[in-house]
Amino acid sequence: MDKLFLLIFVSLTSVSLALGQDLSLKILVQPKPVVPKDYGTLDAQGTIRLKVEFLANGQIGNIIPITRMRVSNLTELAVEAAKQIKFEPEIRNGQAVSVFSNIDYMYGLGFSGWKVSARSADSTGVGSPADAQAEAVLQKAIENLGGDKYLQVKTQIGRGKYSLMREGAVILFQSFIDVIVFPDKERTEFKGGGVKSIQTNVGGTGWTFDGDAGLIKIQDEKQVENFKRGMRVSLDNLLRGIWRDDATLSYVGKRAATLGKRNDVVRLTYKDGLVVEFEIAADDGVPQRAIYTRLGPDGVEIKEEDRYAQFVDVGGVKSPFIIDRFANGVQNSRINYETIEFNKAVPDSIFAKPSNPKALKKDLKL
């Protein structure tokens, strides 16, 4: 514990003053988070960001972790400390109002602290009530999938079967191995009828291998864009917060699901206009589906939907073992995982384009 220290400082950024008697939120008492017994032995350097609701009645409202520390229980201890904050509410036009504020608990060698940046609860920006509700839906889903263990996943290796469907019948059936290094590396190998094909992407680049022709090709712009879209509409992209520099999150409302069930709906709106809606079960936080649109070859808009099912717990992390994809209400494919491994070492070399196609005919060893 003597190697790392937790200090506190306050920085308040008030919202603009309106007419009448306006006073910014004033922190009176800010307790330090409890320090775990093993804190000095941890590599505990980083920032925990909480979105805290300071209610007009002088009470603390919702507390939503935006970023977490992936060691020990530092995030939970920060939340408990935030609940004990004493403050004088913000005053607008002589009336107390509720505000949402970001609080950063920064841990590190020699210096740590927290700071507050207050924004009005009725603003249309990050501090709006709808956004806070959307963040709460995300947090519920994250906790359902494993909480910190889910967020600590760096790599995922999945094996299973892929089915392509037309008019309700399976027209292609292949085995696959899919290797992901978050946030933007993926290699997928398909094998069927003795023929292998490979698609590999790293950020804005990619290559493919056609085992039937024995050729390696650089992905064209459309193929790369398809990969990027697939990542941006994925459940992991939503819950891991990979979207945060490129999109805004909002709460849509509740939507009818199965009999007696309703889903919370949150929406990601990207800067380039891509919109994705995610439905998450309102009662237990189980993710249900993602809905988005794309343009078909003829320029006509296609409504696509990914439905998640059969969540399996693997070492404390839950993941959907079945993902069904629909286009305009008609199912066109199914991914059925048989096994998933998390945080297994993945060499960067498997994402590099090889010069010799013969090397790709061998099975991938991990």
CATH number of the domain encompassing residue 162: 2.50.20.10
Q: How far is Cα 319 from Cα 297, in angstroms, rounded to an integer? A: 32
Could you tell me if residue 76 is inside a domain? Answer: yes
- Looking up tokens 């009999």, which residue turns up? 259
* Same domain, yes or no: 169 and 86: no
Percent of the chain with pLDDT over 90: 50
Which among 242, 308, 236, 301 has a CA at the least distance from the CA of 273? 301
- Distance (Å) of CA 145 to CA 55, 142, 184, 226, 328: 30, 5, 21, 27, 29
The 10s digit of each residue's pLDDT in 239-280 is 998 898 889 999 999 999 888 899 999 999 999 999 999 999
- Looking up tokens 């024995």, which residue turns up? 214
Neighbours of 325 (CB within 10 A): 16
* Same domain, yes or no: 341 and 236: yes
Degrees to nearest 5, angle at CA 267 with 264 and 268: 145
Is the predicted pLDDT of residue 182 greater than 90, yes or no?
yes
Predicted local distance difference test score (pLDDT) of residue 112 = 42
The 10s digit of each residue's pLDDT in 45-84 is 667 778 888 899 999 988 888 777 666 677 888 889 899 9
Structure letter (DSSP) for residue 274: -
The 10s digit of each residue's pLDDT in 302-335 is 999 999 999 999 999 999 999 999 999 999 999 9
The 10s digit of each residue's pLDDT in 132-147 is 788 889 989 999 999 9
Neighbours of 235 (CB within 10 A): 20
Q: Please check whether residue 309 is in contact with residue 320, taking contact to mean a CB–CB distance below 8 angstroms.
A: yes
Q: How far is Cα 329 from Cα 317, in angstroms, rounded to an integer? A: 30
Predicted local distance difference test score (pLDDT) of residue 130 = 55
* Same domain, yes or no: 20 and 95: yes
Determine how β-strand 12-13 pairs with β-strand 116-120: parallel
Q: Give the chain's domain count.
A: 2
Is the predicted pLDDT of residue 127 greater than 50, yes or no?
no
Predicted local distance difference test score (pLDDT) of residue 12 = 36
Which domain, by its residues, includes 91? 12-127
